[in-house]
Amino acid sequence: MNSTDFKTAFFIAYKTITKGHKSTIALIIFILSLSFFNLMFVSGFLYGFSDGVMKSMIDNSTAHIIVMPQEEPTIKPFVFDQDRVRAEIETIPGVVGTTRHYQLGGTLAYDKEKDGNFKYTSAQIIGVTQAEEKNILTINKYIISGKFPDNLKDDEIVLGANLSGGFGTKQRPRRCNCW
């Protein structure tokens, strides 16, 4: 583009603005400011939000590597020879450690008032080895009441605040027509 093209463009823009209605100018400024806001802030917000979610999942739930049971050609219920698989993963440079999780769905029932009126809620149940878990994930730092145990006995569990019904979290109780 040469200087004549710029002069022509500026002349047309000037005449459009001076001859146009004030509402048209206000609309153009509003649209340009929305475009600027969209380009600068919304993309940054979405990037920060997704980055925070990923960091939270890595620190508190999954770490960096997830090994799932075989699905093809036949579905296996768990990873066979876990000690060998964990030993191989731990030889990768930079790997701090490994831990195993056993996940299943379940329904929990509780009687807060101890009056025979049980409330039921569905939840994901995850079995972990606490000593290994403390070395890899940071979930143990977010215990609200009590402390994260090093070794649980067979009759002990750790509940999230929303399942235990306390500490300001809300869990919508549902009635269960269980048999």
Do 160 and 107 share a structural domain? yes
Pair 14, 49 in one domain: yes
Last residue of a domain, one of 42, 74, 98: 98
Q: What pLDDT score does 169 carry?
A: 55
Q: Which range of residues forms the domain containing residue 23?
A: 3-62
Q: Which residue has the tokens 């022509």?
A: 8
- 138 & 175 share domain: yes
| Same domain assignment for residues 37 and 90 | no
What integer pLDDT is reported at residue 30 of this predicted model? 93
In terms of C-beta density within 10 A (0-12 exposed, 13-18 middle, 19 or more buried), how is residue 152 classed?
A: middle
Residue 146 has pLDDT above 60, yes or no: yes
Q: Are residues 120 and 158 in the same domain?
A: yes
User: What's the whole-model pTM score?
Assistant: 0.57
**In this structure, are 104 and 179 located in the same domain?**
yes
* DSSP H or E stretch at residue 126: strand 119-127
Q: How many domains does the chain have?
A: 3
Summarised one tens digit per residue, pLDDT across range 17-62 is 777 777 877 888 899 899 988 888 888 888 889 999 999 888 888 8
Whether 39 and 70 share a structural domain? no
**CA distances for 169 relative to 120, 144, 161, 163, 165, angstroms:** 16, 12, 7, 9, 7
67 shares its domain with 121: no
Residues 119 and 164 in one domain: yes
87-91, 100-104, 149-153: segment of lowest average pLDDT: 149-153
Pair (160, 176) in one structural domain: yes
